[in-house]
Chains A and B, each alone.
Chain A
Amino acid sequence: MTAHPHSLELFRRDRVWPFLMPPEPRVDVSHQVILYVEGLNLSFDGFKALNDLNLYVNDGELRCLIGANGAGKTTLMDVITGKTTPDSGTVHFGQSIDLLHHDEARIAQLGIGRKFQKPTVFEAQTVADNLELALKTNKGILPTLFSQLSSEQEDRIHSVLHTIGLVQQKRLLAGNLSHGQKQWLEIGMLLVSEPRLLLIDEPVAGMTPEETERTAELLTSLAGKHTVIVVEHDMEFVRSIARTVSVLHQGSVLAEGTMDQVQNHPDVIEVYLGEDA
């Protein structure tokens, strides 16, 4: 990369200028792959957080990412959602949308939702308001200023409240919810925004066993209609939901496959699961 990537980008002959692209690009999944991550490199002060990382996720898949602390899981999510720009590499959403050219807000509008490790709901506002803010609508300034909840949107909020079991707490301030309820509210905020791709960072941290079980059920039911990527440390939980697991190690994908395949993979045994044995 040179010092002025954007000025050179204009002269590239292998792509259409961004301002000539249709305004509302559809996510093109005609090849069944919804997320292409290729050759990602990112270093912070010499520490290689991502090291030539390649990852392909199919449309409708439920994928688990596992790996030790510092393996690059959260950094990868930051890159996909536009929070961090990589040193090199490409990230495409469907075949045509280059995510590295969009900011966080645009990426969210394109249909990528994210749930953070620590529950981050808006504590000074009610549960219903939190969901209203997350609704899939026009997020421009004037439409937001003059917006009103349509009956359709109210139904949508109500059905999500049912799914996450917070109907009783609708008018309660989010700050008064329990830890598990906040986690659920945040999952609910993802659901009302109707994303194509959900990135979920440690959904069951701090949950009781029953809550964990319900979360597992919910996530499996989401797959198919949505694509879900889950980062999780809890191996039992991963085993209960995952069909495909990617193991990250030192910023790149070490192994990929079903849980059993991954656990018997010699490299994985050596660097990750080996520590437990």
Chain B
Amino acid sequence: MSILRSVLSRQPAGQRVLPFVVILFGVTVLASLGNLLVPESSSLHVSTYTITLLGKYLSYAMLALAVDVVWGYCGILSLGHGAFFALGGYAMGMYLMRQIGDRGVYGHPTLPDFMVFLNWDSLPWYWFGMDQFWFAMIMVALVPGVLAFVFGALAFRSRVSGVYLSIITQALTYALMLAFFRNEMGFGGNNGLTDFKDILGFSLQSDGTRVALFIATAVLLALVYGVSQWILGSRFGKVIEAVRDGEARVRFLGYRTDRYKVWLFVYSAMIAGLAGALYVPQVGIINPGEFAPLNSIEVVVWVAVGGRGTLYGAVLGAILVNYAKTRFTALLPDGWLFALGALFLLVTLFLPKGLAGLYGQVREGLNRHSNTPATAEETTP
């Protein structure tokens, strides 16, 4: 098959993926073993809390990767990716709700507690099929994908770009937040979906399930990383980068740039949905707060800190900023937003390429210092 040949022959993409996967899997295996095999008394024991926290960071990393694919490579600054993340999360949450069965507070065999509370007598049509894992997983990718397609087709075909596009993505996520806050929507109103019991028959409270979810997140992150690297390394990726630097010129080369942008946006939204689906069972709740416009802006900050235009930068940024957030909110709960704002300012001013660009920046600085002619011409961005 020519497809298979073209997949295998792209050596540079493989070289970029391998170190990432090795490090990611190394950490995952060590942390998992530290939780399951090392006794709790040992100082090497990794608590279940830490495992869940790591799993959460990795699903955030996947969301950051989704934003980086459209922002870093194609220049589409989406401030609404939190919406796709939350939609994927809701699809997973609906499945987990149906898994509760008659173990809810009201003990109704099919209806979730909040519907009994609202005196509904049957499931709304869009809840059908969500008790099947495979169906829910299709919805995890399909719902964000379809929304992104409709939104992207409308926006990119009418050539909306730049700040205007960013503003309407904010409006999109804000509108969805208001809609999901309404009880009549049938998604649990402002309480959202919670009190999950088990996934695929395994209790969500057990250590084994927690570790399995963490490992699943790591494996899927590696997979998404590899696929994204392959896509961006193809000629499609070159077109995407060219669109970022001069869309009109690409059109005159004969490429329908709006379609390229729509499909990249759909791909990115589906990754964001998958990230949301991995996030929900580990955190145990999904509510309309996930649609908050501020959440989507935070994701952009993670990517900027890590370095946009490099996928590992986005992953690194998401993990580091969220680790800082965990630490910081424990010390000074009200100060986090100020710290985040300051971080964004500092990075924009002093690290335009983020942490991933730090190495190149330092080397360039040293070169200039020692007055040797710039050898930076060979570096790739």
Contact = CB atoms under 8 A, between A and B. Distances in A.
Contact of A148 (B9, B231, B244, B245): B9
Query: Which of B2, B239, B377 has the most chain A CB atoms closer than 10 A to its own CB?
Result: B239
Contacts of A141: 236, 259-260, 263
Interface stretch (A34-42, A126-134, A205-213, A243-251): A126-134
B239 to A, nearest CB: 6
A221 to B, nearest CB: 23
Contacts of A132: 235, 238
Contact of B252 (A81, A124, A146): A81
B380 interface: yes
A172 to B, nearest CB: 7
B234 interface: yes
A1 interface: no
Contacts of B377: 172-173, 176
Contact of A144 (B9, B234, B251, B252): B234
Contacts of B108: none
A173 B254 CA distance: 22
B206 interface: no
Given A122-B245, A139-B254, A133 B236 contact: no
A146 B234 contact: yes
B256 interface: yes
B113 interface: no
B238 A108 contact: no
A77 to B, nearest CB: 10
Nearest to B376: A176
B256 to A, nearest CB: 5
B236 A105 contact: no
A122 B255 CA distance: 15
A69 interface: no
B158 interface: no
A120 B253 contact: no
B252 A104 contact: yes
A65 interface: no
B239 A193 contact: no
A63 interface: no
Interface string A133-151: 1100001010011111000
B260 A129 contact: no
Nearest to B1: A146
A138 to B, nearest CB: 10
Interface in B1-44: 2-3, 5-6, 9
Interface string B217-238: 0000000000000010011101
B241 interface: yes
B245 A193 contact: no
Contacts of A108: 251-254
A147 B255 CA distance: 14
B190 to A, nearest CB: 41
Contacts of B253: 108, 133-134, 139, 189, 193
Interface string B236-250: 101101101110111
Given A105-B254, A146-B2, A133 B245 contact: no
Contact of A105 (B241, B251, B263): B251
A148 B245 CA distance: 23
B360 to A, nearest CB: 13
A212 to B, nearest CB: 24
Interface footprint category on A: 20 to 34
Contacts of B255: 105, 139, 144
Interface in B154-197: none
A237 interface: no
B335 interface: no
Given A122-B245, A172-B377, A144 B254 contact: no
A106 B34 CA distance: 59
B381 interface: yes
Contacts of A147: 6, 234-235
Contacts of A193: 253-254
Contacts of A124: 241, 244-245, 381
Interface string A104-121: 111011000110100010
A147 B251 CA distance: 19
Contacts of B241: 122, 124-125
Contact of A145 (B235, B249, B380): B235
A145 B235 CA distance: 6
B256 A120 contact: no
B238 A145 contact: no
A155 interface: no
Given A139-B255, A189-B253, A193-B253, A144 B245 contact: no
A98 interface: no
Query: Which of B5, B241, B242, B246 has the most chain A CB atoms closer than 10 A to its own CB?
Result: B242
Interface string B257-276: 10110010000000000000
Contact of B3 (A134, A144, A146, A176): A146
Given A146-B3, A148-B6, A173-B380, A133 B239 contact: yes
Nearest to B246: A120
A120 B249 contact: yes
Interface of A: 81, 83, 103-106, 108-109, 113-114, 116, 120, 122-125, 129, 132-134, 139, 141, 144-148, 172-173, 176, 189, 193
Interface of B: 2-3, 5-6, 9, 231, 234-236, 238-239, 241-242, 244-246, 248-257, 259-260, 263, 377, 380-381
3 A-B pairs with the lowest CB-CB distances in the bound complex, closest first:
A108-B254, A145-B236, A104-B251
Given A124-B241, A146-B6, 17 more contacts: A81-B252, A83-B248, A108-B252, A114-B252, A120-B246, A120-B248, A123-B245, A125-B242, A133-B235, A133-B242, A134-B253, A139-B253, A139-B255, A144-B239, A146-B2, A148-B9, A173-B380
8 contacts: A103-B256, A105-B251, A105-B254, A120-B246, A122-B242, A122-B245, A133-B242, A173-B381
